Protein backbone atom coordinates (compact mmCIF):
# COMPACT_ATOMS: atom_id res chain seq x y z
CA UNK A 1 0.00 0.00 0.00
CA UNK A 2 2.99 2.29 0.37
CA UNK A 3 2.12 3.20 3.96
CA UNK A 4 0.87 1.48 7.12
CA UNK A 5 -2.65 0.19 6.58
CA UNK A 6 -3.88 1.77 9.83
CA UNK A 7 -3.21 5.15 8.19
CA UNK A 8 -5.60 4.48 5.29
CA UNK A 9 -8.87 6.33 4.84
CA UNK A 10 -12.13 4.80 3.64
CA UNK A 11 -14.77 7.19 2.34
CA UNK A 12 -12.78 10.11 3.72
CA UNK A 13 -12.43 8.85 7.30
CA UNK A 14 -9.60 6.94 9.00
CA UNK A 15 -10.06 3.21 8.43
CA UNK A 16 -10.16 2.58 12.18
CA UNK A 17 -13.15 4.92 12.57
CA UNK A 18 -14.76 3.30 9.53
CA UNK A 19 -14.45 -0.13 11.18
CA UNK A 20 -15.71 1.04 14.56
CA UNK A 21 -18.75 2.63 12.93
CA UNK A 22 -19.50 -0.61 11.04
CA UNK A 23 -19.23 -2.66 14.23
CA UNK A 24 -21.06 -0.20 16.51
CA UNK A 25 -19.73 -2.41 19.31
CA UNK A 26 -21.19 -1.73 22.78
CA UNK A 27 -18.37 -3.44 24.69
CA UNK A 28 -14.66 -2.78 25.08
CA UNK A 29 -12.53 -2.40 21.97
CA UNK A 30 -8.81 -3.07 21.74
CA UNK A 31 -6.47 -1.78 19.06
CA UNK A 32 -3.22 -3.72 18.60
CA UNK A 33 -0.41 -1.72 17.00
CA UNK A 34 3.17 -2.40 15.98
CA UNK A 35 6.08 -0.70 17.73
CA UNK A 36 6.61 2.75 16.24
CA UNK A 37 3.09 2.77 14.79
CA UNK A 38 1.17 3.64 17.94
CA UNK A 39 -1.79 6.01 17.93
CA UNK A 40 -2.71 5.84 14.24
CA UNK A 41 -5.43 8.15 12.91
CA UNK A 42 -8.77 7.19 14.42
CA UNK A 43 -7.38 5.37 17.47
CA UNK A 44 -9.06 7.67 20.01
CA UNK A 45 -12.47 5.91 20.31
CA UNK A 46 -10.86 2.56 21.17
CA UNK A 47 -11.16 1.59 24.82
CA UNK A 48 -7.52 0.51 24.87
CA UNK A 49 -4.42 0.31 22.68
CA UNK A 50 -1.78 -2.40 23.12
CA UNK A 51 1.52 -2.46 21.26
CA UNK A 52 3.23 -5.66 20.19
CA UNK A 53 6.49 -6.12 22.13
CA UNK A 54 8.55 -6.54 18.94
CA UNK A 55 8.22 -5.52 15.31
CA UNK A 56 7.72 -7.89 12.39
CA UNK A 57 6.29 -11.02 14.05
CA UNK A 58 3.09 -10.85 12.04
CA UNK A 59 -0.58 -11.23 12.81
CA UNK A 60 -0.14 -14.23 15.11
CA UNK A 61 1.91 -12.05 17.49
CA UNK A 62 -0.88 -9.46 17.23
CA UNK A 63 -3.40 -12.10 18.27
CA UNK A 64 -1.29 -12.96 21.32
CA UNK A 65 -0.97 -9.28 22.23
CA UNK A 66 -4.75 -8.93 21.93
CA UNK A 67 -5.38 -11.98 24.14
CA UNK A 68 -2.87 -10.74 26.73
CA UNK A 69 -4.50 -7.30 26.92
CA UNK A 70 -8.17 -8.14 26.45
CA UNK A 71 -10.60 -7.03 29.14
CA UNK A 72 -12.84 -10.00 28.38
CA UNK A 73 -12.41 -13.80 28.27
CA UNK A 74 -13.58 -13.90 24.63
CA UNK A 75 -12.45 -11.64 21.84
CA UNK A 76 -13.09 -11.24 18.15
CA UNK A 77 -10.13 -10.20 15.99
CA UNK A 78 -10.55 -8.27 12.76
CA UNK A 79 -7.67 -7.15 10.54
CA UNK A 80 -7.43 -3.42 9.88
CA UNK A 81 -7.34 -4.04 6.12
CA UNK A 82 -10.78 -5.69 6.04
CA UNK A 83 -13.15 -2.72 5.75
CA UNK A 84 -16.29 -4.67 4.84
CA UNK A 85 -16.61 -6.83 7.95
CA UNK A 86 -19.92 -6.06 9.63
CA UNK A 87 -21.30 -6.10 13.15
CA UNK A 88 -23.43 -9.20 12.43
CA UNK A 89 -20.30 -11.17 11.59
CA UNK A 90 -18.54 -10.06 14.77
CA UNK A 91 -21.61 -11.03 16.82
CA UNK A 92 -21.90 -14.40 15.04
CA UNK A 93 -18.25 -15.25 15.79
CA UNK A 94 -18.55 -14.28 19.45
CA UNK A 95 -21.78 -16.27 19.79
CA UNK A 96 -20.32 -19.29 18.00
CA UNK A 97 -17.28 -19.35 20.28
CA UNK A 98 -19.50 -18.94 23.34
CA UNK A 99 -21.71 -21.82 22.12
CA UNK A 100 -18.72 -24.12 21.49
CA UNK A 101 -17.41 -24.37 25.05
CA UNK A 102 -14.64 -26.79 24.02
CA UNK A 103 -13.19 -24.44 21.38
CA UNK A 104 -10.23 -22.17 22.09
CA UNK A 105 -10.59 -20.29 18.81
CA UNK A 106 -12.75 -20.21 15.71
CA UNK A 107 -11.82 -19.32 12.16
CA UNK A 108 -14.08 -19.62 9.15
CA UNK A 109 -14.14 -21.31 5.79
CA UNK A 110 -15.37 -19.22 2.89
CA UNK A 111 -17.33 -21.52 0.59
CA UNK A 112 -17.67 -21.18 -3.15
CA UNK A 113 -19.59 -24.20 -4.31
CA UNK A 114 -17.59 -27.23 -3.19
CA UNK A 115 -14.38 -25.25 -2.72
CA UNK A 116 -13.52 -23.95 0.74
CA UNK A 117 -10.86 -21.41 1.63
CA UNK A 118 -9.74 -20.86 5.21
CA UNK A 119 -10.14 -17.23 6.24
CA UNK A 120 -8.20 -16.47 9.42
CA UNK A 121 -9.92 -13.09 9.90
CA UNK A 122 -12.29 -12.26 11.34
CA UNK A 123 -11.86 -14.88 14.06
CA UNK A 124 -12.69 -15.38 17.72
CA UNK A 125 -10.47 -16.44 20.64
CA UNK A 126 -10.72 -17.41 24.28
CA UNK A 127 -8.11 -16.16 26.73
CA UNK A 128 -6.92 -19.78 27.06
CA UNK A 129 -5.75 -19.69 23.43
CA UNK A 130 -2.70 -17.73 24.58
CA UNK A 131 -0.71 -20.88 25.47
CA UNK A 132 -0.93 -22.57 22.04
CA UNK A 133 -0.28 -19.25 20.29
CA UNK A 134 2.87 -18.79 22.41
CA UNK A 135 4.01 -22.31 21.47
CA UNK A 136 3.57 -21.59 17.77
CA UNK A 137 5.52 -18.35 18.03
CA UNK A 138 8.30 -20.08 19.99
CA UNK A 139 8.54 -22.65 17.18
CA UNK A 140 8.75 -19.76 14.67
CA UNK A 141 5.40 -20.77 13.17
CA UNK A 142 3.84 -17.38 12.53
CA UNK A 143 1.08 -18.36 10.11
CA UNK A 144 -2.46 -18.01 11.35
CA UNK A 145 -3.21 -21.20 9.43
CA UNK A 146 -0.85 -23.02 11.83
CA UNK A 147 -3.42 -22.41 14.57
CA UNK A 148 -5.46 -25.27 13.12
CA UNK A 149 -2.73 -27.66 14.30
CA UNK A 150 -3.57 -26.71 17.89
CA UNK A 151 -6.15 -28.74 19.82
CA UNK A 152 -9.26 -26.69 20.41
CA UNK A 153 -8.83 -24.42 17.40
CA UNK A 154 -11.55 -25.08 14.87
CA UNK A 155 -12.56 -23.83 11.46
CA UNK A 156 -16.26 -23.76 10.67
CA UNK A 157 -18.23 -22.83 7.60
CA UNK A 158 -19.19 -19.19 7.61
CA UNK A 159 -22.93 -18.69 7.38
CA UNK A 160 -24.18 -18.80 3.79
CA UNK A 161 -25.54 -15.27 4.22
CA UNK A 162 -22.02 -13.86 4.53
CA UNK A 163 -21.20 -12.18 1.25
CA UNK A 164 -17.79 -12.87 -0.31
CA UNK A 165 -16.98 -9.18 0.22
CA UNK A 166 -16.60 -9.96 3.94
CA UNK A 167 -13.07 -11.16 3.22
CA UNK A 168 -12.04 -8.19 1.10
CA UNK A 169 -8.46 -7.20 1.91
CA UNK A 170 -6.86 -3.90 1.03
CA UNK A 171 -3.53 -4.89 -0.49
CA UNK A 172 -3.12 -2.27 -3.22
CA UNK A 173 -4.21 1.29 -3.94
CA UNK A 174 -6.64 -0.17 -6.50
CA UNK A 175 -8.32 -2.21 -3.75
CA UNK A 176 -8.85 0.97 -1.76
CA UNK A 177 -10.23 2.77 -4.82
CA UNK A 178 -12.72 -0.08 -5.33
CA UNK A 179 -13.93 0.20 -1.71
CA UNK A 180 -14.31 3.97 -1.98
CA UNK A 181 -16.37 3.49 -5.15
CA UNK A 182 -18.99 1.39 -3.30
More confident residue, 4 or 31: 31
Q: What percent of the chain has pLDDT over 90?
A: 81
Nearest to 130 by CA among 44, 176, 66: 66
Instruction: Kindly tell me if the per-residue pLDDT of 87 is higher than 70.
Output: yes
pLDDT computed for residue 181 by the predictor: 74
Instruction: Give the pLDDT band of residue 177 (cuts 50, 70, 90).
Output: confident
Instruction: Kindly tell me if the per-residue pLDDT of 56 is higher than 90.
Output: no
Averaged pLDDT of the chain:
93
Cα distances (Å, whole numbers) of residue 127 to 63, 67, 115, 121: 11, 6, 31, 17
Q: Is the pTM of this model over 0.75?
A: yes
C-alpha–C-alpha distance, residues 180 and 117, integer Å: 26
pLDDT computed for residue 141 by the predictor: 94
Nearest to 30 by CA among 82, 84, 67: 67
Mean pLDDT (whole number) for 163-171: 90
- Where do the structural domains in the chain lie, given as residue ranges? 5-181
Instruction: Kindly tell me if the per-residue pLDDT of 171 is higher than 70.
Output: yes
CA 162 to centroid of chain Cα atoms: 16
CA atoms within 13 A on the CB side of 144: 22
Instruction: Kindly tell me if the per-residue pLDDT of 1 is higher than 70.
Output: no
What homologous superfamily does CATH list for 5-181? Spore Coat Polysaccharide Biosynthesis Protein SpsA; Chain A (3.90.550.10)
| pLDDT digit string, tens, across residues 19-52 | 999 999 889 999 999 999 999 999 999 999 999 9
More confident residue, 174 or 118: 118
Mean pLDDT (whole number) for 67-82: 96
C-alpha–C-alpha distance, residues 14 and 11, integer Å: 8
Amino acid sequence: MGRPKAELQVAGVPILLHLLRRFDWPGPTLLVTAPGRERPPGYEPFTQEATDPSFGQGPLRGILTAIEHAQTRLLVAVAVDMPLVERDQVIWLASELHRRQEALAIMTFQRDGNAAQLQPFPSAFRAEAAAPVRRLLAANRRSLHALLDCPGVVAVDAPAAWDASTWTNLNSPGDLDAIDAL
